């Protein structure tokens, strides 16, 4: 491995460590959190559901704004891309859950205690689980805009704003819609983790579905658990029918025609529930009907405005550019300042005596990696055959997507208590339970990426394979699997990122007074967080995780990704 | 004074092993009202040349003069028709045609009028609200043509406009192009068309510029003095075609 890669890897680790230490340094300032009494009555359920949904929505809106800005900036040129995309890779792989306590400290100190700070931290956590995915989607959409379209707009003298409205933004719609579905799945998964904040002695429960489920589980109220899960399922199904399906229908309008292999049917038709499958287009038509009058009014109003002449437009463009640069410089300065303070905090934190438990870190790391490898193999073991089946069978493909989305959105984190208890009863050890839990955090990423890849296999290649009389196994070997390689790689990268997060949640589990744990990095981290509150240990375990993740990213995933896009890309 | 003049225009691209020279010192001028065809084998840089004339690409060396003035950047008097149609799939035919006008800040009512006028001129009356994916190749190119005509350019630039169409459609569109150009109320007087089909060039153009490949340089400049409509089977037509062919081969 050459020196340059080594240095850039070390630099990224250092930056992450500095930011982490910076967040942790706020712990001293963070006032003690007092949570209000938590009611588990079913009557509160709609309110909790609303709170949770609101949090998800806020995070999603922020993530969208961020992604469009970031993705388009990164697409501007090679130099931007070389800095911004690896930054997202790192952000994607660093396990966000581990950072959550630190984020809580930071936001609570910022908001001077109280619920606002905790809410901000929760929204921030959900934001991080959604934003990188969306930003990469925007970036890829921008890069695949056909040259001719770009040149046509340029040739007719379109301003940057016109190009944004008519070309860049519409071009991003298909990927944004698809990635949004995935982002929400990820968001629901972390919902539970972010609504219950236990840091050392502080206990805080945000009103929401996640905390409701955990609290009900803790008190053993099975009726309430079922009610909560039903509510969650209801929200997810409603969102799928009223939001994602219509949006998917609408997004078809924005596909380029030569994207052969994009199934002629929109992805979201539930073949089984035929009546409901018509709901998607119907809702879309209703929405359009409702939006039409205000949109027309808006258009009339805008038409009344005088068209700006070219000198005014040039002036506005210059002012916009200047503001953009000023904002960029300001952001850079803030970032550098944060890094500087963080490095100081890091040095201070690491200078103290290292705890005994730190000796366990290497072994724990090995154990954790092993667990993730097992979970990954199981995931790949069932998602790949599913994808192969979906590649051959259009009907299967059509109902697989919404089913996967709904089932995947059900946070396994809500079912943790049941899974742990059941598995520990049966096998007597937490290892299997932990692997199962990690599995739930990995498999959906893999499945969704594979499904996207399946949809992109060009129809004419499939027809040619059939025409030449290749049997099914041969088609899989020669066409489907190679065509899926890029999706397998990108899916694996995101799956491992999700896996690390699930790891932190799954290796240590406290329920009704009993603590279940295994030897692992996540367990060390959680034990330090919940039992001892030893910030040195927390920092060390998180740092080890970051080093491993970034290392794997550079050594394994980057290489695989390059191979995948070089050899296996279909142009 | 010539409407458009190119002086020693060259274009190179940075490449792994040094510079790749695509165009080498091209010089010619175009008068108002001329129909000029630029022919050459693939890779001779003719599409690049057209984009340099339009201003999308800047030449590495040399100048482009329009009405005696040097042009830097996009020339608003030109409009281009693309080989691959380059229509935005999410906009209707009317919205696509209005795009060029919107870019120039033309107010909505006027945009509507011009768009409807030119959609009618290219024979797509009634298709204003259709989307590109619902149209055939020939119809899509008509939309491209309408879009270019709507901004009423002085010079129409066409980059292999009929190469992506089947032969029968192309024949029809060629005739329509001539009709539109020769009509008394035609917005466009000068046309520069890039093509690799020699017969097409001889059928349509007043002047044929022959480009040779690797790197592209001007191999010949022929006048076509035949009266339109031209008979493909006539002797003068064929001898012209042969002459162009031999000019290309000679420098190959």
| Cross-strand bridge partners of residue A515 | A510
pLDDT in tens, A46-81: 888 888 999 999 999 999 999 999 999 888 888 888
B32 φ/ψ angles, rounded to the nearest 5 degrees: -65, 140
pLDDT category at A264 given cuts 50, 70, 90 is very low
A419 within 8 A of A412, measured Cβ to Cβ: yes
Task: Tell me the mean pLDDT in the region A93-105.
Answer: 76
Cα separation, A493 vs A86, in Å, equals 13
Supply the pLDDT for residue A271: 33
pLDDT at A322 over 60: yes
Is the pLDDT confidence value at B251 over 60?
Answer: no
Whole-number pLDDT of residue A571: 61
Task: Say if residue A277's pLDDT is above 70.
Answer: no
Q: What is the pLDDT of residue B190?
A: 95
pLDDT, position A266? 37
Residue A36 burial by Cβ neighbours in a 10 Å radius (0-12, 13-18, 19+): exposed
CB contact under 8 A, B90 and A170: yes
Task: Find out whether A408 and A447 touch, Cβ atoms under 8 Å.
Answer: yes
Quick check: A273 contacting B, CB < 8 Å? no
Q: Could you report the per-residue pLDDT of B149-158, keeping only the tens digit for each?
A: 999 999 999 9
Q: What is the mean pLDDT of residues A272-288?
A: 58
**By C-alpha distance, which of A32, A29, A196 is closest to A106?**
A29
- Give B164-217 pLDDT, tens digit per residue: 999 999 999 999 999 999 998 888 999 999 999 999 999 999 999 999 887 888
pLDDT exceeds 90 at position A121 = no
pLDDT more than 70, % of chain A: 87
Residue of A nearest to B151 (CA): A156
Answer whether the bond into residue B215 is a cis peptide, omega within 30°: yes
Closest CB from B91, B132, B151 relative to A156: B151
Q: Predicted confidence band at A28 (pLDDT cuts at 50, 70, 90)?
A: low
Task: Name the 3-class secondary structure at B211.
Answer: strand
In the Cβ-directed half-sphere of A355, how many Cα atoms lie within 13 Å?
18
Kindly state whether A309 is in contact with chain B, defined as any CB-CB distance less than 8 angstroms: yes
Q: Does A310 touch chain B (CB under 8 A)?
A: yes
> Could you read off the pLDDT of A416-453 as tens digits, one per residue?
777 777 777 777 677 888 888 889 888 988 898 888 88
Quick check: do B1-76+189-252 and B78-152+167-187 share a fold? Answer: yes
**Integer CA distances (angstroms), A259 to A88, A174, A177, A183, B91, in order:** 27, 12, 17, 24, 17
Task: Answer whether residue A278 shows pLDDT above 80.
Answer: no
pLDDT at A263 over 80: no
CATH class of B1-76+189-252: alpha beta
Model confidence band, residue A35 (pLDDT cutoffs 50, 70, 90) = low
At A276 the pLDDT is 47
Which chain B residue's Cα is nearest to A157? B103
pLDDT value, residue B130: 93
Nearest residue of B to residue A168, measured between CA atoms: B88
Q: Give the tokens for residue A566.
A: 């070089």
The helix/strand/coil state of B164 is coil
- pTM of the entire predicted model: 0.81
Q: Do residues B19 and B226 touch, judged by C-beta distance below 8 A?
A: no
Q: Higher confidence at residue A199 or residue B125?
A: B125
User: Is A70 buried (19+), middle (13-18) or exposed (0-12) by CB count in 10 A?
Assistant: buried
Per residue in B53-86, pLDDT (tens digit) is 999 999 999 999 999 999 888 999 999 999 999 9
Phi then psi dihedrals of residue B24, to 5 deg: -125, 100
Each domain of chain B, given as residue ranges in start order, spans 1-76+189-252, 78-152+167-187
Q: Do A158 and B107 touch (CB under 8 A)?
A: no
- State whether residue A147 is helix, strand or coil: helix
Distance (Å, whole) CA A446 – CA A206:
31
Confidence of residue B10 (pLDDT cuts 50, 70, 90): very high
Chain B positions touching A167 (Cβ under 8 A) are 88
Residue A504: per-residue pLDDT:
85
* CATH fold group of domain B78-152+167-187: Rossmann fold (3.40.50)
Higher pLDDT, B191 or A247: B191
Predicted confidence band at A463 (pLDDT cuts at 50, 70, 90)? Answer: confident
């Amino acid at each position: 491995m050459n020196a340059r890669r080594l240095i850039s890897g070390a630099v990224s680790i250092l930056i992450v460590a500095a930011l982490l230490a910076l967040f942790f340094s706020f712990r001293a300032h963070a006032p003690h959190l007092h949570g209000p009494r938590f009611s588990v009555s079913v009557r509160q359920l709609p309110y909790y559901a609303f709170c949770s949904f609101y949090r998800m929505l806020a995070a999603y809106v922020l993530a969208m704004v961020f992604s469009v800005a970031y993705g388009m900036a990164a697409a501007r040129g090679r130099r931007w891309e070389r800095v911004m995309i690896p930054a997202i890779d790192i952000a994607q792989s660093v396990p966000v859950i581990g950072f959550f306590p630190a984020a809580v400290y930071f936001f609570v100190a910022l908001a001077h205690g109280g619920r606002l700070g905790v809410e901000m931290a929760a929204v921030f956590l959900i934001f991080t689980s959604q934003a990188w995915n969306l930003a990469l989607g925007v970036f890829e959409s921008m890069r695949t805009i056909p040259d001719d379209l770009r040149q046509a707009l340029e040739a007719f003298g379109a301003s940057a704003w016109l190009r944004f409205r008519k070309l860049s933004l519409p071009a991003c719609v298909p990927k944004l819609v698809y990635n949004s579905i995935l982002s929400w799945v990820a968001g629901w998964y972390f919902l539970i983790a972010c609504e219950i904040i236990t840091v050392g002695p502080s206990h805080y429960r945000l009103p929401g579905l996640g905390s409701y489920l955990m609290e009900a589980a803790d008190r053993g109220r099975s009726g309430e658990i079922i009610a909560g899960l039903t509510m969650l399922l209801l929200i997810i199904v409603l969102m799928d029918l009223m939001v994602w399906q219509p949006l998917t229908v609408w997004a078809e309008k924005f596909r380029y025609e030569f994207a052969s292999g994009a199934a002629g049917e929109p992805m979201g038709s539930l073949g089984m529930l035929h009546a409901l499958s018509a709901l998607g287009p119907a809702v879309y038509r209703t929405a359009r009907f409702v939006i039409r009058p205000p949109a027309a009014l808006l258009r009339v109003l805008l038409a009344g405005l005088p068209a700006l002449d070219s000198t005014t437009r040039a002036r506005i463009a210059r002012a916009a550019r200047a503001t953009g640069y000023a904002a960029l410089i300001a952001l850079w300065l803030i970032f550098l300042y944060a890094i500087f303070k963080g490095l100081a905090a890091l040095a201070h934190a690491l200078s103290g005596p290292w705890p005994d438990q730190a000796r366990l870190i290497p072994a724990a790391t090995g154990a954790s990696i092993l667990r993730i490898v097992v979970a990954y193999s199981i995931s790949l073991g069932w998602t790949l055959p599913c994808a192969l089946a979906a590649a051959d069978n259009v009907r299967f493909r059509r109902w697989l997507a919404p089913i996967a989305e709904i089932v995947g959105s059900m946070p396994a984190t809500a079912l943790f208590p049941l899974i742990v208890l059941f598995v520990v009863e049966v096998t007597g050890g937490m290892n299997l339970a932990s692997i199962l839990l990690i599995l739930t955090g990995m498999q959906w990423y893999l499945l969704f990426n594979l499904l996207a890849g399946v949809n992109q296999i060009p129809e004419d290649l499939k027809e040619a394979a059939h025409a030449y009389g290749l049997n099914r196994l041969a088609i899989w070997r020669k066409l489907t699997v190679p065509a899926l390689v890029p999706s397998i790689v990108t899916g694996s990268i995101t799956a491992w990122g999700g896996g690390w997060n699930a790891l932190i949640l799954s290796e240590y589990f406290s329920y009704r007074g009993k603590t279940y744990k295994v030897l692992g990095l996540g367990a060390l981290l959680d034990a330090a967080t919940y039992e001892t509150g030893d910030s040195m240990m927390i920092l060390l375990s998180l740092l080890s995780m970051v080093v491993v993740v970034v290392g794997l990213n550079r050594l394994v995933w980057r290489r695989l990704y390059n191979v995948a896009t070089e050899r296996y890309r279909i142009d | 004074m010539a409407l458009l003049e190119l002086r020693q225009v060259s274009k190179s691209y940075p490449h792994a092993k040094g510079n790749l020279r695509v165009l080498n010192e091209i010089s010619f001028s175009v008068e108002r009202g001329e129909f000029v065809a630029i022919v050459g084998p693939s890779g001779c840089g003719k599409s690049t040349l057209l984009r340099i004339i339009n201003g999308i690409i800047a030449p590495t060396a040399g100048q482009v003069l329009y009405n005696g003035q040097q042009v830097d950047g996009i020339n608003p008097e030109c409009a281009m028709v693309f080989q691959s149609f380059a229509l935005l799939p999410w906009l209707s035919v009317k919205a696509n045609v209005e795009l060029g006008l919107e870019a120039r800040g033309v107010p909505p009512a006027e945009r509507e009028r011009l768009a409807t006028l030119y959609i009618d001129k290219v024979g797509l009356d009634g298709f204003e609200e259709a989307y590109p994916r619902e149209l055939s190749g020939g119809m899509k190119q008509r939309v491209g043509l309408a879009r270019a005509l709507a901004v009423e350019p002085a010079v129409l630039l066409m980059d292999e406009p009929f190469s992506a169409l089947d032969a029968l459609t192309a024949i029809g569109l060629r005739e329509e192009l001539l009709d539109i150009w020769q009509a008394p109320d035609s917005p466009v007087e000068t046309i520069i068309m890039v093509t690799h089909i020699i017969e097409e060039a001889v059928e349509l153009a007043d002047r044929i510029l022959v480009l040779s490949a690797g790197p592209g340089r001007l191999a010949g400049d022929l006048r076509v003095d035949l009266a339109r409509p031209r008979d493909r089977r006539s002797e003068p037509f064929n001898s012209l075609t042969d002459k162009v062919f031999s000019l290309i081969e000679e420098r190959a």
